[in-house]
Amino acid sequence: MLHVVAKYALAPVLYRQAGRLKRAAVELPEPNGERSGSAGEGDLRLRLLVAGDSSAAGVGARSQDDALAAPLARNLARRLEGKVQWQLVAQSGLTSEGVLHKLMHGHVRPADVAVVICGVNDITKEQAASFALRKRRQIAEWMCAHAGVRHVLFPGLPEMELFPAIPQPLAWWAGQAARRNNRLQARWAGEFDFISHVSMDGLTHPSLFCEDGFHPAPGLYARVANRLAELITDEVLPRLQAKDAAPRQQDAS
């Protein structure tokens, strides 16, 4: 409720700052590099799909090699001691609805686990949280139905008040909006056994952003990849293995 009251009280300042920020924003390109491939050697351990907005696409990195998808696949391959196949389906500026359309109109390969990064553009484009979460559910259901994905992770938004490009009090309001998104997404994800909310709290620092002051630099991408890889290997995959083992145990009995 506080962020709603503050938005109306500070509306003239917030909209003026937002307009100024939009006009002055440095538009960085999406990094070059392959958007699919494999990491590691040996037996295939995991098929990974990464989808989303500019942060999923790796804006702020020099190439896909030091963005998110490829480093995440390498991190997973090292932890799993085998091969990880990966694919990236992402585009700058996408809302949750835009990510869904991108997937539906793209060539998406089969995958076991997916990571979907979205939410910042829902906030900046003032999408209702209920609408955004409904689209995220459709994203997860589409991935399961059309790509065979068994588990979908939705990382939470970072602490937006720490973004160097955003002035106060707009930064404060953005941070409040990000936290509200995370609370709602965590509660929503808890309703499904095939969806997880992943907290990104504690990873962000103003020194870890690229020159636009809005997107991660490679060091922050590496932190995010490490947190995601840890959750996938320590929690998601054991849960999927337990599901696979349950029918066998029932048949044996």
Whether 31 contacts 71, CB under 8 Å: no
Predicted model pTM: 0.91
Q: What is the pLDDT of residue 104?
A: 98
List pLDDT tens digits, range 228-245. Answer: 999 999 999 999 999 998
Q: What is the pLDDT of residue 16?
A: 78
The phi, psi pair for 153, rounded to 5°, reads -105, 130
- Whether the upstream peptide bond of residue 164 has omega within 30° of 0, thus cis, is no
Relative to beta strand 151-155, strand 83-90 is unpaired
- For the chain, which domains are there? 2-6+35-245 (3.40.50.1110)
Whether 155 contacts 144, CB under 8 Å: no
Q: What is the pLDDT of residue 5?
A: 43
| Residues of the chain scoring pLDDT < 50 | 1-2, 5, 8
